[in-house]
Amino acid sequence: MIDRLDAAGCVRRRPDPDDRRKVLIEPTPEGLKRVADYYAGLTDRTHDVLATFDEDRLRSLPTFVEAARDDAVAEVGRVRSDVRPRRDAGRPSHPGSGE
């Protein structure tokens, strides 16, 4: 995926100044413009909705966003903890054993 974004001029690779084993990926001006263009309709609608909010409603938004973020992080942790290897993972299958 990074190769395609790089080839399309949306990102560029640069060496990590702190670790020469790493390569950092950063957006290009063209990549940022393409993202902005892609989401322009959504951005306009969001601005229109927010323009109707009074000060109290606007002040409550950060609390909602933080709570939603915390819930999303907790859910990712729950999902990851539910992922268990299959019972037979790592065991060779034996002919005639019913597996």
Determine the Cα–Cα distance for residues 74 and 80; give it in Å rounded to an integer.
10
Same-domain check for residues 10 and 33: yes
Q: Is the model's pTM score more than 0.75?
A: no
Same-domain check for residues 30 and 12: yes
pLDDT digits (tens, 9 = 90+) for 65-96: 999 999 999 999 999 998 766 565 555 555 55
Structure tokens at 60: 């409550």
pLDDT digits (tens, 9 = 90+) for 5-58: 999 999 999 999 999 999 999 999 999 999 999 999 999 999 999 999 999 999
Query: Looking at the domain assignment, is residue 93 inside a domain?
Result: no
Q: What is the pLDDT of residue 74?
A: 96
Q: What's the domain range around 71?
A: 55-82
Query: Looking at the domain assignment, is residue 96 inside a domain?
Result: no
Q: What is the pLDDT of residue 83?
A: 74
DSSP, collapsed to helix, strand or coil, labels residue 25 as: strand
Same-domain check for residues 44 and 60: no
Same-domain check for residues 75 and 60: yes
Same-domain check for residues 69 and 43: no
In Å, the largest CA–CA distance within the chain is: 72
Determine the Cα–Cα distance for residues 23 and 28; give it in Å rounded to an integer.
15
